[in-house]
Structure 1
Amino acid sequence: MTLAAGLATAPAASAVANGADVPAGQFGFAAKLTMTDIPKPNGTKYTSACSGALIAAQWIITAGHCFHDANRNRVSGPVPYPTSVLLGTVDQNAPGVTRNVVTVYQSSANDIAIATLDADVTGITPLTVNRVTPSAGQLLTLAGWGSLTSVNPAPSTKLQQGTVQVGQVGTATLGVLGVAPTSTTSACVYDSGAPYFVAGGDGGQLVSVESTGPDCPHHQLETTSRVDVVADWIASHTG
């Protein structure tokens, strides 16, 4: 999804529309990214947000378009603007783990970025990166901090979840459709980079990350970026 205006203006996504609150203690790996002082071509700056997930003690994954220059070109290297990461909570007003992004690495295959944090995250089980080609009909869980609506969107204060089904398998992307709580359960503004995963135990297996889609809520295909096609690249950085 798009980063969204006011807070942003690029493909970013929001909290899950027509989703459900995530119970306390679940999905600690789900990350809320807050960016400040993002430059615009006219020299002004703005604030935005994305979602993401912990994939190693000092690494997160999110959408590549969450990190860009003033002309919205994706960038690698030192983080282009202050970006804080909240983990380990389902409520931004409850205690969690806060880190800052240091360095960004952009995938050349799809809309994925991985980034290092300023310190290890302990006590939270990271998601495992899937290495198997997803299949049509597969059910996935989406967890994001995006907006609940595309009308005057704002990042959610509570982590939201929903169930989607793989409807289309592309070379480096997956098209997914809402299943539960409703057929219009979908990623929204500021959900960009949110994980789609198969839950299991304390963690789970990451299958794709949010990229872009129609205004939420909707019942059309949402475009997500497959992680299996970049699993070796991810491992070459994270170990």
Structure 2
Amino acid sequence: MRRLITFLSLVLGVVLGVPGSASAIANGEPVPDGRYRFSVKLTMTGIPTATGGRRNSACSGALVAAEWVITAGHCFRDANGVRVEYPVADLTTATVGRTDLAGTGGHEVEVVAVRQSPTADVALARLATPVRDVRPIRLGKRAPEPGDVLRVTGYGSTTSVNPAPVTRLRTGQMVVVSVASSVVGLSGFAPQPDTTPCPYDSGGPFFTESKRARPALVALVSGGPSCPHTGVESAARTDNIADWIRAAIRAG
């Protein structure tokens, strides 16, 4: 449902000349400057459509290595909706380490290659030049358990209805309610019971937080009901494909 809403709103934006949405987590809160700098905004300009036209889109993600961003696999689809291992847009730009998109901090780097996970809705996007001054998020190895509270960040929309763009990274917390082989089910936790990802949050990182360790990536925003909602959000697990992630990064 969210992917359909995202597509329709983007097509309408192209027709009417309205910029693509760049807002964020529904009923979340703004991220303070300099926090969660590993968060990434992916901007796709000129994606081919099945009718021969072009559309724009956006996703969220996280820096996992100097030259690599992790995001949802469905963020890279051809005109037939098939996930592919190459940038489908005329230009795909990763904005890294910039909490406020209206500012000038961080980096804007072109995405030049894609690697798709064979088992999950997860992709790695390679950057044209490495980002050296932003510390990547740590890959978690422990499987999430029901009751775990995870934080999510994203540059998506605050609602599925007429998405309104904002320019600041937002965040919220969700609680794990189920765990399957490739997905995690989560429901809203804080600051509201219906704090949830929205269109263009796809690929945003779900991660654990601890006073004794750096944030650890557990899953990525993949899909869910229209937002905000109190239902179950589906996130693509990354803990059980950490070896594939590392191998893909090493292979380049």
TM-score (norm 2): 0.89
- The residue aligned with 2:16 is none
Task: Write the mapping of 1:215-234 to structure 2, written as runs, cut at 5 A.
Answer: 215-234=226-245
Do the aligned partners of 2:23 and 2:167 also contact (CA within 8 Å) in 1?
Answer: no
For 1:213, the equivalent position in structure 2 comes to: 224
CA distance in structure 1 between the partners assigned to 2:119 and 2:182 by the alignment: 7
Aligned-residue RMSD, C-alpha: 1.8
Question: In the comparison of the two structures, how many residue pairs are matched?
Answer: 235
> 2:7: which partner in 1?
4
Partner of residue 70, structure 2: 61
> Do residues 159 (structure 1) and 162 (structure 2) align?
no
Q: Over residues 38-93 of structure 1, what are the superposed CA-to-partner deviations in whole Å (9 max), with x where a residue is unaligned?
A: 111110111010000000000000000000110111001x3121110111121101
- Find the partner of 2:56 among 22, 47, 54: 47
Partner SS state of residue 100, structure 1: strand
Preserved CA contact (<8 Å) 1:15 1:160: yes
Aligned positions of 1:1-239 closer than 5 A: 1-2=2-3, 3-7=6-10, 15-76=24-85, 78-81=86-89, 82-95=91-104, 96-199=106-209, 203-239=214-250
What SS is found at the alignment partner of 1:5?
helix
User: Counterpart amino acid of 1:110?
Assistant: A
Instruction: State the one-letter code of the partner of 2:240.
Output: V
Greater helix percent: which structure?
Answer: 2
Deviation sequence 1:118-148 (CA, Å, 0-9, x none): 0110111101111111111111101000001
Please state how far the C-alpha of 1:204 moved relative to its aligned partner.
1.5
Q: Which has the higher strand share?
A: 1
Per-residue deviation at 1:7?
2.1
**Secondary structure in 2 aligned to 1:6?**
helix
Take 1:14 and 1:171, find their aligned partners in 2: how far apart are those partners?
A: 31
Q: Which runs of 5+ in 1 are unaligned?
A: none
1:74-117 CA distances to partner (integer Å, 9 max, x unpaired)?
001x3121110111121101122111111101111111001110
Matches of 1:8 and 1:160 in 2, distance apart?
A: 24
Counterpart of 2:19 in structure 1 is: none
Secondary structure, aligned partner of 2:242: helix
Question: In 2, distance between residues paired with 1:208 and 1:108?
Answer: 16
- Structure 1 counterpart of 2:187, one-letter code: L
Counterpart residue type for residue 216 of structure 1:
C
Contact 2:23–2:168 under 8 Å retained in 1:
no
1:15–1:144 contact (8 Å) kept in structure 2: yes
Preserved CA contact (<8 Å) 2:185 2:232: yes
1:104 and 1:116 in contact (8 A); partners too: yes
Pair 1:159–1:8, CA change in 2 (3 A): farther
Distance 1:8 1:74, change over 3 A: farther
* Off by >4 Å, runs of 4+ in structure 1: 200-203
Q: Is the 8 A contact 1:27 1:203 kept in 2?
A: no
TM-superposed deviation, 1:8: 5.9
